[in-house]
Amino acid sequence: MVTLSPLTSVIVASVLISVSVSAYLVINDDDHDITIAWANKDCYEPFWIADALGYWVDEGVKVNGVILNNGSEVAASILSGNADIGGMGADPLLRMLRDDSGSSIVCRYQTGYSNSEFVARDGGNGGKISLSEYQKQLADAESSGNDKKLREYLNKAVKGAKVGMQVGTAYWSWFLGFLDNIELTADDVTIVPLDFNVQVAALTEKQVDIISGGSPNTELALEMSGSHFMISDPDQKLASIFLMASGNAMAAKADAIVKVLKGLQRACDLIYSDPENAAKLIIDVYGRNWTVEQQKTVFGRSIWGIDIVDKDIKALETAAKLINKAGQERKGDLPTGDKITERIPRNDLTDLISVVMDAADLPTPAFIKLEKGKGLRV
């Protein structure tokens, strides 16, 4: 298991990497086969598990890991040539596809609905956000099967609210989807840029009315105060976390990527086969001040495993359309349709996933094969 120390500039293979935010580096003194970038937050648990338990070593691949704060920083690390592959959500992935013609979508390793859940403060937004009213409207919607009044309430409660989130991450498109479903736009709220580690405090101290940051912030915020409560998108959709690779890595390091994926799949398997010890490991790595049961709850809110299916690609397209509609991309619209699917290496990816799933202990998830020249097919 690696020892991490905070850095503001890190050295990989004697090359100085300048970064604008605090980062960490897993340093191997010997030669390495591949450099992986991941983040010190939720959605990246398989990377920590694979590294801590030596799964990559077992697979015969020497890994350097650049550990950052979020998927946007991971994407920047790959684009700058400081990492070969890395994990990220839809927003940074789509910007990579737009800004770098050589980058490729390798697979997804985590998916779920919890990213459509946010934490609000009772009495927030000038009193318009009300726990009792939300509970009433939610109960009425569930009993009647009609959520029209719930959506109307959320429209009024959220309009004008201050929303804390890490700008540039996938939480932006996920929240845009929520706004769209209650007939609001980005112009109807005030986005307050907040790093993940200060979001709960900002909500507690009434600096924001809502936070969009996922686990563990959702659970921590709910425990912090009885005035905090979770609100959900009435039209929840799957949201996935993907592994992206540079063009050079796909061309020159395919064998190493396969070994990395095998290690990640073993880590995902452990989350299911031994969640107790997987949770203990994550708590030790993160230094989180919470319980094993809470971490197991976080595990249970997602589906873990190496795969890629049509729903994953549709989720990317939905995110791109929402972000483009918001009109805040300075470098131009994000790719949609074939401009996404053409960036999945068709022949290599089928072999890549098959090799990994053959090595997995769990039943193989449904895999939609790729038809050459036509992207995904059902």
Q: Please provide the DSSP assignment of 149-160 as one string.
A: HHHHHHHHHHTT
CATH class of 114-232: alpha beta
Please report where in the chains the tokens 């598990």 appear, as a residue: 49
Write down the pLDDT at residue 18.
27
Please report where in the chains the tokens 């015969």 appear, as a residue: 60
In angstroms, the CA 264 to CA 362 distance is 13
Write down the pLDDT at residue 120.
96
Which of 185-194, 285-294, 350-359 shows the lowest per-residue confidence on average (mean pLDDT)?
350-359
Please report where in the chains the tokens 């700008």 appear, as a residue: 167
Write down the pLDDT at residue 352.
54
Q: What is the mean pLDDT of residues 190-196?
A: 92
Q: What is the mean pLDDT of residues 150-170?
A: 93
In angstroms, the CA 218 to CA 120 distance is 10
Contacts of residue 124, defined as CB under 8 A and 6 or more positions apart, other chains included, come to: 161, 206, 208, 209, 210
SS3 244: strand
- Distance from chain centroid for Cα 129: 27
Q: What is the pLDDT of residues 29-56, one digit of tens each?
A: 457 899 999 988 888 999 999 999 999 9
Residues in the chain: 378
CATH architecture observed for domain 7-113+239-376: 3-Layer(aba) Sandwich (3.40)
E strand map for the chain: 7-12, 15-26, 34-39, 63-68, 85-88, 104-112, 117-121, 162-165, 190-193, 210-212, 228-232, 239-245, 302-307, 370-371, 375-376
Write down the pLDDT at residue 239.
81
pTM of the model: 0.81
Instruction: Compare 112 and 265 and report the one with higher pLDDT.
Output: 265
E strand map for 220-300: 228-232, 239-245
E strand map for 166-255: 190-193, 210-212, 228-232, 239-245
Q: In terms of C-beta distances under 8 Å and separation of at least 24 residues, what long-range contacts does 121-125 make, across chains too?
A: 121/203, 121/206, 121/208, 121/209, 121/210, 121/225, 121/227, 121/228, 122/227, 122/228, 122/229, 123/227, 124/161, 124/206, 124/208, 124/209, 124/210, 125/157, 125/158, 125/160, 125/161, 125/162, 125/209
Instruction: Compare 5 and 352 and report the one with higher pLDDT.
Output: 352
In angstroms, the CA 173 to CA 316 distance is 10
Which of 26-35, 150-159, 185-194, 305-314 shows the lowest per-residue confidence on average (mean pLDDT)?
26-35
- Residue span(s) of the chain under CATH 3.40.190.10 come to 7-113+239-376, 114-232
Q: What is the mean pLDDT of residues 241-262?
A: 91
Instruction: Compare 170 and 368 and report the one with higher pLDDT.
Output: 170
